């Protein structure tokens, strides 16, 4: 009886191996797709579940695909959100007098909000680059891209929208404080009220306050959009 050649045997083994791997990959991919759909896309707001050891095993190499999303959100938690919280806190003023006496704090807040923007830009660029390198079958790619948009693109956009608005508001608050300080001999400040006998100063202050109030409304709108993304609340 003629024995099969080593080449034929190797091809047969390789075929069986690939078939087995293909089946395993299909199960891993199906499990990962189900996870993305039921644990992320079907839930409101930004929810980034931490994978269990059992889930990592079930998803196989696709656990690394999820790491692209998880790592971005980890960077947000560690480098972006804290900078924004600190900047908003430092930039809070309760009176016109604060604008005069707390200019250094406002300048710190302005620098902080721009540092947040830089950290966000870096984290998003890393995530987008990693996302672009992923090689995914069509069925997974469609679901994954939706999850990526939900947990990376939309939150990043909402945060990025706040940066220029906050930068402008803080800049105008700093400028208002500087102007009031320069004209302190002709103005009297009481809470949110200002009195002056100089019509030119009164007109300039009114114009600056009007602009600042308009920008603050834009900040509130941007914060509402961010909240809608984060919690899935109606806009």
- At 15 the pLDDT is 39
Residue 108 · residue 173 · CB < 8 Å: no
Q: What is the CA angle 103-105-107, rounded to 5?
A: 70
Alpha carbons 54 and 127: distance in angstroms, whole number: 25
Distances (CA, A) of 82 to 59, 85, 100, 116, 207: 32, 5, 26, 8, 33
The DSSP secondary-structure symbol of 60 reads T
Q: Give residue 120's Cα distance to chain centre.
A: 6
Distance, CA of 194 to CA of 161 (rounded, Å): 32
Nearest one of 145, 83, 72, 86 to 118, comparing CA atoms: 83
pLDDT value of position 79: 85
160 close to 117: Cβ distance less than 8 angstroms = yes
Please tell me the distance from the alpha carbon of residue 19 to that of residue 13, in angstroms, as a whole number.
10
Distance of alpha carbon 56 from its chain centroid, rounded? 25
62-75 vs 103-133: helix axis angle to the nearest 10?
170
What is the distance between the alpha carbons of residues 115 and 167, in angstroms, rounded to a whole number? 11
d(CA 110, CA 91): 8
Terminal CA-CA length for the chain:
77
* pLDDT string in tens for the chain (235-residue length): 444 433 343 343 343 333 334 458 899 999 999 999 999 999 999 999 999 999 999 999 999 999 999 999 999 998 888 888 888 887 777 778 888 888 899 999 999 999 999 999 999 999 999 999 999 999 999 999 999 999 999 999 999 999 999 999 999 999 999 999 998 888 888 777 788 888 998 899 889 988 988 888 888 888 889 889 988 865 4
What pLDDT score was predicted for residue 213?
85
pLDDT in the model for residue 9: 39
- The answer to whether 106 touches 173, Cβ cutoff 8 Å, is yes
Residue showing tokens 């045997």: 9
Query: According to the model, what pLDDT value does residue 21 have?
Result: 43
CA-to-CA distance for 176 and 188, rounded, in angstroms? 14
């Amino acid at each position: 009886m003629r024995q099969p050649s080593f080449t034929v045997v190797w091809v047969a083994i390789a075929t069986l191996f690939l078939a087995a791997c293909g089946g395993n990959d299909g199960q891993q991919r199906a499990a990962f797709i189900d996870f993305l759909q039921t644990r992320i896309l079907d839930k409101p707001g930004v929810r980034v579940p931490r994978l269990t050891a059992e889930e990592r095993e079930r998803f196989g190499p696709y656990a690394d695909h999820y790491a692209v999303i998880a790592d971005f959100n980890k960077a947000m938690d560690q480098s972006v959100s804290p900078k924004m919280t600190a900047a908003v806190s430092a930039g809070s003023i309760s009176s016109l007098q604060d604008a005069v006496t707390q200019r250094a704090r406002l300048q710190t807040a302005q620098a902080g909000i721009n540092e947040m923007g830089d950290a966000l830009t870096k984290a998003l660029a890393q995530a987008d680059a990693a996302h672009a390198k992923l090689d995914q079958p069509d069925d997974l790619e469609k679901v994954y891209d939706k999850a990526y948009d939900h947990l990376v693109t939309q939150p990043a956009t909402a945060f990025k929208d706040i940066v220029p608005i906050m930068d402008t508001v803080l800049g105008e608050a700093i400028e208002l404080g500087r102007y009031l300080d320069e004209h302190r001999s002709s103005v009297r400040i009481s809470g949110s009220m200002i009195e002056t006998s100089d019509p030119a100063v009164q007109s300039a202050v009114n114009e600056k306050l009007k602009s600042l109030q308009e920008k603050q409304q834009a900040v509130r709108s941007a914060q509402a959009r961010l909240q809608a993304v984060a919690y899935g609340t109606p806009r």
